[in-house]
Amino acid sequence: MLTARTSTLVIEEAFNALDLTQFVNSPTRGDNLLEVLTSTTSAHVSSVNVDDAGLMSDHGLVTANITGCSKPTVEYSCRKLRDVDAAQFETSLCQSELFSHPTNATNEFAEQLARVVTSQLDKVAPVRHSSRRPPKPISKWLPTEAVAAKRDRRRFERRWLTTATV
């Protein structure tokens, strides 16, 4: 059976093995330290305090300022092809080096084709870079129809909020 001293050593060893820092250093229930607040960096945690909370409970209330913990974002890039004038794009391709000076080798022509088409697309539909929050974990298990329905509902709610009069 573990004593309080050996269990404290086991917890400290686990924190050290995981490179975690414990921020609650005063007892939170009687003379025992039961509440844990750990982080891999001390830059995000400050002003840790244990309060008796007006003796409403036999446990102390742990308060802290936690900053800089932002959710990861998903970066993506796309082209807005919906606004491309197809006739103008076709004309610019016909006036390019693909038609005036095509290369003879197959691999070189494939490279030329990719380079010219990309440069013409950059003129009419430049690549746009953006980021968004990843979906909530509950969305991972929903069928695609349900995720699409939630997305539509949120879009309609935002539209209603911007156009509704109060």
**Contact of 151 with 136, CB cutoff 8 Å:** no
Tokens 């609650």 — which residue? 24
What's the alpha-carbon Rg for the chain, to the nearest Å? 30
Minimum mean pLDDT range among 6-15, 76-85, 122-131:
6-15
What are the tens digits of pLDDT across the range 31-78?
Answer: 777 778 888 877 778 888 888 877 777 788 888 888 876 777 888 899
**pTM confidence score:** 0.42
More confident: 6 or 43: 43
Question: CB-based contacts of 120: which residues, under 8 Å, 6+ apart?
Answer: 89, 92, 93, 96
User: Hey, what are 37's tokens?
Assistant: 């607040």
Q: What is the pLDDT of residue 39?
A: 83
Compute the C-alpha angle 103/108/114, nearest 5°.
100
Look at residue 4 and tell me whether its pLDDT is greater than 70.
no
